[in-house]
Structure 1
Amino acid sequence: MEKIKEDKKGFFTDNKNHTQLIELYNQFNFFAKDNGMTLEIKEVGHAISEMKIVEKHQSAPGHCHGGVISGLMDATLGGSALSYAFAQGKLCATVEFKINYFLPVKLHDELIAEANLEHTGNRLVHTVCDIKNKKTGKVVAKGIGTFNLYPMNKQTFE
């Protein structure tokens, strides 16, 4: 077990290929897996996530809980920021994010979220995201997020 932790740590700290790092991140992101979310990075700073609303996502019969949508928002905003952080040889963490809900999301709806990096600084990056109903193309939520950049060697993997 200790060897696996060291291998992971070395992979993150020695690797500057953001594509490979995102693939590894997807393997360890159990929250996304458990909720049926996918994350794809088209280019540094541009993230796309998708998910289908299933029974466990309901808060009222036939309707999705807002926390599920905010989880998708945070994951997509974070993917955008993380791709930039990886390309800089760093990691990142959410400092804050804001979400606005516009339309209800229903059972079996498929969502697509698209986030883009809007501003980068020495320690903070800012991203924006729209979540749309994949079938109708209508925006169901919009969000903005700020992420803190930090050195990869500060990650302990414990």
Structure 2
Amino acid sequence: MEKTKEEKKPFFTDNKNHDQLIELYNQFNSFAKDNGMTLEIPEVGHAISEMKISEKHQSAPNHCHGGVIAGLMDATLGGSALSYAFAQGKLCATVEFKINYFLPVKLHDELIAEANLEHTGNRLVHTVCDIKNKKTGKIVAKGIGTFNLYPMNKQTFE
């Protein structure tokens, strides 16, 4: 008898942890809110962020500042790492990340960033991310990040 593959369920299905994580992220991450970034975590280790480039993101006429793209990269890499950390009852912080820019991003472009967990250790996790122009599907930047895991009780939410 042939075994059928079990459908892969997102970790957070039927689990209030997903709602708690998104609520905490949205409550405390004013950088993402102020820049119009959204975060979705379909499963542990996988994060998707989106944003639309506006006038406040320009560094030159009709061109997005590289720091804005780096911010989206860090937020998405961090979402991937945070989903894993949170599932372990921990939090995380960026230790380092590297970004490569491939194409210019222009005013009113819509970006979608997708990050995946690549390696987990006792204290560090490693994630990778692509940022694409939503309309063209072309990769505008790639990045990698390392995040430190730490106990949730070391963070105060006041």
- Please give the range of the TM-score, normalised by the shorter of the 2 chains: 0.7 to 0.9
Q: Which moved more, 1:60-69 or 1:20-29?
A: 20-29
Change (3 A) 1:17 1:4: farther
Change (3 A) 1:25 1:5: farther
Q: Which moved more, 1:102-111 or 1:14-23?
A: 14-23
Following the alignment from structure 2 to structure 1, what is the Cα–Cα distance between the partners of residues 119 and 81? 10
Q: Deviations over 1:127-151 (max 9, x none)?
A: 0000000000000000000000000
Q: Which moved more, 1:13-22 or 1:100-109?
A: 13-22
What 5-or-longer segments of structure 2 have no aligned partner?
Answer: none
Following the alignment from structure 2 to structure 1, what is the Cα–Cα distance between the partners of residues 7 and 29? 17
In the alignment, is residue 71 of structure 1 matched against residue 39 of structure 2?
Answer: no
Following the alignment from structure 1 to structure 2, what is the Cα–Cα distance between the partners of residues 76 and 118? 14
Larger RCO (CA within 8 A; separation ≥ 6): 1
User: Percent identity over the alignment?
Assistant: 94
Aligned to 1:32: 32
What 5-or-longer segments of structure 1 have no aligned partner?
Answer: none
Conserved in 1, the CA contact under 8 Å of 2:90 and 2:151? yes
Q: How many residues align?
A: 158
Aligned to 1:152: 152
Give RMSD over aligned pairs: 10.1
For normalisation by structure 2, the TM-score amounts to: 0.88
Q: Please state which structure has a larger fraction of its residues in helix.
A: 1
Following the alignment from structure 1 to structure 2, what is the Cα–Cα distance between the partners of residues 130 and 55? 23
Deviation (angstroms), 1:26: 1.7
Conserved in 2, the CA contact under 8 Å of 1:36 and 1:51? yes
Deviation (angstroms), 1:25: 1.5
Deviation (angstroms), 1:18: 4.0
Q: Deviations over 1:32-59 (max 9, x none)?
A: 0100000000000000000000000000
Following the alignment from structure 1 to structure 2, what is the Cα–Cα distance between the partners of residues 10 and 16? 13
Conserved in 2, the CA contact under 8 Å of 1:16 and 1:88? no
For normalisation by structure 1, the TM-score amounts to: 0.88
